[in-house]
A and B are shown apart, each in its own frame.
Chain A
Amino acid sequence: MDAHAHIGRVNDLKSEPETLIAEMKKSGVTKAVISPMGKDIIFDNAKANSKIAEIVKRFPRKFVGFAVANPWLGSKSVLELERAISKLGLRGLILHPELQGFQADDEIVDPVVEKAQRLQIPIYIPVGTPTCSTPHQLDLLAKRHPKAILIMGHMGYPDLAPYVLPVALKNSNIMLETSRVPELGLIEDAVRRLGAERVIFGSDYPYSRYELEVETVRLLNISSADREMILGKSLLALLGKGR
């Protein structure tokens, strides 16, 4: 199961549900978390969330939807998150410090993070882009919200990967997601030191591709039980909490 794929369009890069399902099938991926991409993460979140929910409704066995709620909109974003989860049936939140324009540990995220925590849904945050999304910023955020479940996307890649494990070791509410991580040793270390239940496979389709991202997990020098955990069970356990 893929924890991180996008549907939508950014300039000449396009991802549609049917092509995504075909790509999943080729690499043996049975289910994927889908979320919007590009400007849909920033503007008109309600429309984007409705669109994701509609796609999930069309392919309920293939997709799980994550919502977007731009924290700059304050109480409006909290209401939209409530709607997206309770009414539309989406099952997680994506916060995107780089596109939405805030530092990951800034207080403006507190209302949506608190809401996500009350709804018992995981929060996915791409991490690895200074100045706005670093492991140490996630450290502060995780400490301020010890009951919120935070998924660190891309494990700090490219340049901040060395700081991800020390931060995750201090915060049991931080999970790590593998998409676009080229360093097998880093993922293996995370499995050894955090446990496979805190490591989650993702593809970042259409930016990267299943053939590469699945192969990365296949090549890891870990037990087959740990691999099964990374490839779906870790994520399913998190998604189960909200139901």
Chain B
Amino acid sequence: MVVIDSHAHLFIKGGLASFKPSSLQMFIQTMDRLKIDKTVIFTIEGLIRDFTRCNDEIAEAVSKYPDRLIGFATVNPWLGDEAVQELERAVGKLGLKGLKLHPYMQGFPAADSMLFPIMEKATKLQIPVLFHSGTPPWSEPLQVAALAERFPDVPVILGHFGQNMYGDTIRALKMVKNLYGETSANHFVYAIEKAIREVGAHRILYGSDMPWLEPEPQLIKIKILKITDEERELVLGNNMARILRIA
């Protein structure tokens, strides 16, 4: 079994004002303590500005701990072609493995046609796209689902399991097969169990939202789910390994 945290932030030095920088060492120590094998990291700053530099910094972090960290790119879709080309570079040249988008912070409706060129590129690059979800009016699970439905070859991940909109998350998972639910920050334990029961554990991913959130409760949450050991292994890492095509 492999444990993969599918949602963590690297806050970089001199980044956006209110985020204190997180050291890589702290990440690795925390992962060791909680027995997390690999963690997906991306910046927050790159959602807004300087995404080229931010993607370089993620690639550099991954190069220091290639067995422990998985880098996701960030681009700002408002910049059109520039964002698409940067995604191509971040995956093709830097070796990043996925894309994080945040409709709420970046200010676009998740199903907007502005996203189509990026999703087409993600299809070609065969990478997953992780969305912040659960914040109306831009980041609703059903908006993300509408986009995912147009691009059936892209694994699309609903970050935070749609927060309080978990009911829509479960309905969206039933409708759109390339959609996944990621559990960080969401304490509606019963809703995660319901999704596993009604949709299947193969569509649920463990995530921590570290270092924004302390990772321990987020892991405890997965451990207390009333599911089989096999289902828990899928949620904790096997699903993400399959999506990222890592053994």
| Residues on A facing B (Cβ under 8 Å) | 12-13, 128-130, 158-159, 179-185, 204, 206-209, 211-213, 215-216, 219
Contact = CB atoms under 8 A, between A and B. Distances in A.
B84 to A, nearest CB: 29
A3 to B, nearest CB: 15
Nearest 7 Cβ contacts at the A-B interface: A180-B187, A158-B163, A208-B187, A184-B214, A211-B224, A182-B185, A209-B189
A207 B163 CA distance: 13
Given A158-B134, A158-B164, A159-B163, A208 B189 contact: yes
Interface in B188-226: 188-191, 194, 209, 212-214, 216-218, 220-221, 224
B69 to A, nearest CB: 22
23 contacts: A12-B194, A159-B134, A159-B135, A182-B184, A182-B186, A182-B218, A183-B212, A183-B213, A183-B214, A184-B217, A207-B188, A208-B188, A208-B189, A208-B190, A209-B189, A211-B220, A212-B187, A212-B217, A213-B187, A215-B216, A215-B217, A215-B220, A219-B216
B136 interface: yes
A212 B188 contact: no
Nearest to A221: B214
A216 B213 CA distance: 11
- The main secondary structure of chain A at its interface with chain B is loop
Interface in B105-163: 134-136, 160, 163
Interface residues of B, number: 26
Contacts of B135: 158-159
Given A159-B104, A209-B189, A209-B190, 9 more contacts: A183-B212, A183-B213, A183-B214, A207-B187, A208-B189, A209-B224, A215-B216, A215-B217, A215-B220
A212 to B, nearest CB: 5
Given A182-B209, A211-B220, A219 B190 contact: no
Contacts of B186: 182
B212 A207 contact: no
Interface in B168-198: 184-191, 194
